[in-house]
Amino acid sequence: MHHYKGALKYDRAYEIMSSVQGYLRTHGFTFEALHMVEEFLTYTLIDRNRASLLHSYGILLQSLGKYDLAQKKYEESLEIAKRIGRVAGEEASLHQIGMIYQLKGSYDAALEKYEESLEIKKSIDDVSGEAKSLHQIGMIYELKGSYDAALEKYEESLILLKRIGDIAGEAQSLHQIGIIYQLKGSYRLALEKCKESLEIKKRIGDVSGEASTLHGIGIIYQLKGSYDQALEKYEESLILLKRIGDIAGEAQSLHQIGMIYQLKGSYDQALEKYEESFEIKKRIGDIAGEGASLHQIGMIYQEKGYYGPALEQYEEALKIKKRIGDVAGEAASLHQIGMIYQEKGSYASALEKYEEALEITKRIGDVDGMALGIGQLGILSRILGKYPDSLHYLAEAYSILKKIGSPNVSIVLSHIIEIRQHFSLHEFASILNKKKISLGEIKQNSEPLTHEEQLQQLIDMYISLGEEKFVATFKQQGVEEKAVELILPVIKGMVEKRSQ
């Protein structure tokens, strides 16, 4: 390579350097690759190679958590690609800018860039690129908590990948479809899809992908509460990652192993794994990963009742997330800081942090995070004895989680059932009815409805539907007309009495 540089044949030297820096990057030598790219940017290159080099520079900066600088390089690359009419370079830069917005938690901006990139790919008949964009659009919907929309995009991507015979891409789509089923609480389907993905990756010798899917299967077992099976999968993944020299992946596996020890109550072992993970991330310059580790170390201190050190770790994590523009991560840290204040009895400070976190999740369209924040406000209101506020918040969180098909709906339901005793039946049903939740839904997992509750449910139906639809609903359910005629005056009388 030095021979080519000495002869000022920079563009030929660039081709060799490109391969070398790619190898260095994938084997954890990020800073060495970065130094090489920075040196070549000082040379005179043809526009095509300069655009490509700026793109590579962006990827390296992105891996180091330097999102703003990475975005700037992608935009410089995009400008050159537009000027020389290199459409493929244009769509690649737009896609990567979308990834930066995604990493920063700006999901709507990310979606816009991915869709711009998708349109270009369609116009040049780049089916492989189209599948890639659809996959990434699916990820945005997933992050926003719109699981059905995400599933639709992943399946569209999968159809294209099958059509062009991209088996590796097919495996990745199956993996992601598995994650959606996991998020919706359909663990059997999630495991089925991930195992399909794993078989393909084993067959084609994709060791890195195999490690990733083993990691994903571990997460499913973790969510099912099968911690020993989860640990086994994470450790299998870790062995593969060490074999191929994927240091960043190794840090992620150690992090997840720490989570299993945490869930099993082995806090010292968990802390040890989180700290191992943190040290690797620090060494390779993974700033975003550092923030994630600090957050989790904070959780261990919180679990052990060491609120001072926990708060310190969360605040360090928050600083990193703010610095790199990880808005979604910022919301998560603020939420956790709120929980520390709540546990310490500093309820005003807790409320402030929950509201800050909620404002962010609403702004970026993180539906799942929004439901979590609203639910937490409901729990805090219950602690403060503000039961009507508590029920309003919990009912809203329940409605959101039910809509996106989240398994966390059962947790919120348990909180709603807990505060039932603080309301008259009419007041309880009225608050739920405003969120379009029936008493039957709330009672389905507890004791059967009393006669009074059944009557209240009928009153709510009448108010919600109006007389004509109320009668039609009963007829559709096969209730005899005479029975409806008997029920109707009673219900109308009750409604009129309450409105006086």
Please, what is the average pLDDT of the chain?
Answer: 86
Residue 8, pLDDT > 50, answer no
The residue with greater pLDDT, 45 or 311, is: 311
Rounded CA gap, 57 and 429, in Å?
Answer: 58
| Residues 285/69, Cβ–Cβ less than 8 Å | no
- At 332, the amino acid letter reads A
Give 1's pLDDT tier (boundaries 50, 70, 90). Answer: very low
| Residues 353/338, Cβ–Cβ less than 8 Å | yes
pTM for the model stands at: 0.68
Q: Looking at residue 468, what is its pLDDT?
A: 75
Task: Convert the pLDDT of each residue in 27-49 to its tens digit.
Answer: 667 777 788 888 878 877 788 88
Task: Convert the pLDDT of each residue in 100-122 to its tens digit.
Answer: 998 887 888 999 999 999 999 99
The residue with greater pLDDT, 424 or 218, is: 218
| Residues 466/492, Cβ–Cβ less than 8 Å | no
The residue with greater pLDDT, 3 or 490, is: 490
Other CB atoms within 10 A of residue 247 CB: 19
Residue 217, pLDDT > 90, answer yes
Q: Looking at residue 144, what is its pLDDT?
A: 83
